[in-house]
Amino acid sequence: MDRRLFLALAAGGLAGPAGAQDFGKAVGGLLGAGLGLPAGVTGAQAEGGLREALIAGAVSAVLRVGRPDGYWGDTKIRIPLPGVLGRTQRTLTKLGLSAPLDDLQRKVNISAEKAAPQARDMFTGAIRAMTVDDVVGVLRGGDTSATDYLNQKTTPQLIGLFRQPMASALTSTGALRSLDRAVTKNGLAGALGGNPTDILTNFAVTKALDGLFFYVGEEERAIRHMTR
């Protein structure tokens, strides 16, 4: 990718905040002669514009998954049922008897759609907190270097942040009631290897974040590929 074009796209005519002038100059200097800024684009503009482009991409990903059918209607990120629940569902599907587990899976995905918007402010904060080295690493990195940065910086906090909204959503959508019925009906309590509610909640949180980061990465690729 031509980083100069990426910078021009990211800048998009946006001036960085006044306090970012020195930061922007440092970015321009660190890029070196071979990766200099395009004519008419200052370091501050590039730095500020890059942040805004990344924030816009991350927010777009959050909005994409955090809407009706954001997970359930998307086979790329649809959340399956964990472990023995998923295996039992697949077996019962062949017999036409999987309706209770299918209902549970649908409600898990609806719960993820309800919880996803919680990530928006955390992504925005992480991008705004990027250091000079972080920005340069993103500019010099691969197609998903910003996504990888966000994954590293936010995942531990997002797991904690998502757990309560996910648990609340699993309750409000009726997923936990469906879980109890499915476990009881299919005699799966002993096979799960733990508390069914905890197992389902932890799995749903992990898969919801996987789906969210998948589309953060897609948004980043789209920005970069537009410059090729």
Q: What is the pLDDT of residues 153-166, one digit of tens each?
A: 899 888 988 888 88
As a whole number of angstroms, the distance between CA 46 and CA 28 comes to: 8
C-alpha closest to that of 113 among 212, 191, 29: 212
Is the per-residue pLDDT at 84 higher than 60? yes
Q: Summarize the confidence of residues 122-129 as an average pLDDT.
A: 89
pLDDT at 70: 96
Give the C-alpha separation, 62 to 116, whole Å.
6
The residue with greater pLDDT, 11 or 85, is: 85
Residue 221 is predicted with a pLDDT of 86
**Ordered alpha helix ranges (H), the chain:** 3-11, 21-31, 43-65, 83-95, 99-115, 119-128, 132-140, 145-172, 175-186, 196-225
| Mean pLDDT of the residues in the chain | 79
- Asked whether 115 and 172 are in contact (CB, 8 A), the reply is no
Report how far residue 224's alpha carbon sits from residue 2's, in angstroms, rounded to the nearest whole number.
9
Tell me the domain boundaries of the chain: 69-225
Distance CA 55, CA 45 (A): 15
* pLDDT tens, residue by residue, 164-173: 888 888 899 8
**131, 76 in Cβ contact below 8 A?**
no
